[in-house]
Amino acid sequence: MPAEYQVTAFLDNEDSPGIMNPIHSTEVAATYGYRAPLVGGVTVYGWGARAAMATLGDAWLEDGWADVSFRRPVFPGDVLTISAVEDGDGVRLAWTNEAGAACIEGAAGRGTAPWLGEIAIPSRRRAEPAAETLPRLTMENAPIGEDLRPCAFPYPMSEAEEYARDHQRDLNPPWVGEGARIHPGWLAGRMTRFLHHNYDYGPSIHARSQIQHIAPLLAGQTITVAGSIAQVYERKGHHYAIVDGLVLDETGREIARMRHTTAFHLARRE
């Protein structure tokens, strides 16, 4: 059976130009031609976890995949209809606004994603501190195919509860309590922070996420993200980076792989 939910979009960060990605602030979004701050793409993606799990089951979190593309901005106050409709062995996912336009759309399924083999596997896997001064990311200096500095991300139970409450407004299992899982929205957001661990850039806009869950992602531990930049390109004045990531638990076991596409340099809109 298809799953369908409605969510009224909200800004889950401080509305300030001083945040890590200021496109999520009113002031900076306006300078790029947007009518309001953009709600974070990974947050909106996270709102769809409930629909995916309703159709694919909780096991999707440890043996499943998602591939979603961000078509239109989501602004605070937008009423989104999030749907998951069975399609062959998987589901079609859509986040549709009041005008009937898809803001995010894609697919999810159980087992191994057909594109998993395209994601590069890094050799550099032990977490390292960021450089004292980060270089500015450009299309010219992007180190294509070279391992970046891996980054450690603690996710204690207190943060799991805070994320579920403040970013997802969903304090139901499996996000909190005994055996809490790492939320897919929080996991997807590590790729942005991983790239910021290595480079200075922004404002930026999330364009696509490909995520393969491989093993149980348990809260209450520190995970490490390692990876590399697979490609950079220009489209309509925006500069994009495709970043591959490998997610490891505290024992060094692989628990997920991700490919993250971001517009790291934005052209200004009229």
Report percent pLDDT > 90 for the chain: 97
pLDDT band at 2 (very low <50, low <70, confident <90, very high): confident
Give the model confidence (pLDDT) of 202-222 as tens digits: 999 999 999 999 999 999 999
Confidence bin at 200 (pLDDT 50/70/90): very high
Of 50-54, 122-126, 259-263, 265-269, the one with minimum mean pLDDT is 265-269
Using CA atoms, how far residue 125 sits from 11, 27, 224, 249, in Å, is 33, 38, 8, 11
Domain ranges of the chain: 3-113+122-265
Instruction: Tell me which amino acid residue 17 is.
Output: P
Sheet with 90-96, side-by-side order of all strands:
3-8, 79-87, 90-96, 102-110, 64-70, 205-213, 254-265, 238-248, 221-235, 151-155
Predicted local distance difference test score (pLDDT) of residue 269: 74
Q: Are 47 and 95 in contact (CB under 8 A)?
A: yes
Q: In 3D, which of 142, 144, 179, 143 has the Cα closest to residue 160?
A: 179
Contacts of 132 (CB under 8 A, 6+ apart): none
Tens digits of per-residue pLDDT, 234-250? 999 999 999 999 999 99
Q: Is the pLDDT of residue 270 over 80?
A: no
Question: For position 268, what pLDDT does the model report?
Answer: 85
In residues, how long is the chain?
Answer: 270
Find the mean pLDDT for residues 12-35: 96
pTM score of the predicted model: 0.96
pLDDT for the residue 254: 98
Can you tell me the distance from the alpha carbon of 8 to that of 120, in angstroms, rounded to the nearest whole number? Answer: 37
Residue 143: CB atoms within 10 Å: 13
DSSP secondary structure letters along 48-85: THHHHHHHH-GGGGTSEEEEEEE-S---TT-EEEEEEE
| pLDDT of 88 | 86
Q: In the CATH scheme, what is the homologous superfamily, with its name and number, of domain 3-113+122-265? A: Hotdog Thioesterase (3.10.129.10)
